[in-house]
Amino acid sequence: SADMETKRLVLIRHAKTEQQGPPTQGDHGRALLPRGQGDGEAAGRWLVSDGLVPDLVLCSTAVRAVQTWEAMVVGCDDLADVEVWRDRRIYDASPGELLEVLSEVPDGVGTAAIVGHAPGIPGLVAQLTDPERADDAAVEVLNAGFPTMTSAVLLGDEPLSAAGGASMRLSRVQTARADD
């Protein structure tokens, strides 16, 4: 039935960032480097070409995360109208804290994305992945590290608000680079 449709969760680590933020803002204020901007645009094009335009984006309030999503929109205009919720909790979040944010996603959302940070984002990918059903190539990439502007695509049968445990199928891990 229609309510059994696959739910998709795209977990995204922000793009390449300057080493230090403004003195008044510190880490939270670190901005993207030009390379990060280009990588973000490439990631936006990839997301759309892979048919993963989100219904909802949950974005860390850190400058680098906000700028990452903005760069992705520059990369592909199809992302311009996506609803974005900025959530301070995503900054510095553990996998468990990210699940709390996810628990508030409305049931009608078929595809959601989180733009956040390491180690929380790759940690959540690992936590949600059912090793029995994961794509082997994706697992290999995940285990090799989760550099900036990497996205992991997880598929599940439950509403995203119910995500938890090793219940989702890891289908893809993609690192976007401007020169791709």
> Which string of b and e fits 134-160 if b means at least 16 CB within 10 Å?
bbeebbebbeeebebbbbbbbbbeebb
**Residue 3's pLDDT is what?**
54
> Mean pLDDT, to the nearest integer, of 77-101?
97
On the 0-12 / 13-18 / 19+ scale of CB atoms within 10 A, 108 is: exposed
User: The pTM is what?
Assistant: 0.96
SS (H, E, C) 102-141: HCCCCCCCCEEEEEECCCHHHHHHHHHECCCCCCHHHHHH
What's the mean pLDDT when you consider all of the chain?
95
For residue 156, pLDDT over 70 is answered with yes
**Residue 1's pLDDT is what?**
40
Q: Is the peptide bond before 106 cis (omega within 30 degrees of 0)?
A: no
**Residue 24's pLDDT is what?**
92
49-68 pLDDT per residue, tens: 999 999 999 999 999 999 99
Give the integer Cα–Cα distance in Å for 58 and 98.
Answer: 10
> Mean pLDDT, to the nearest integer, of 92-105?
97
**Residue 179's pLDDT is what?**
82
Q: Which distant-in-sequence residues (6+ apart) come within 8 Å of 19 by Cβ?
A: 30
**Residue 5's pLDDT is what?**
85
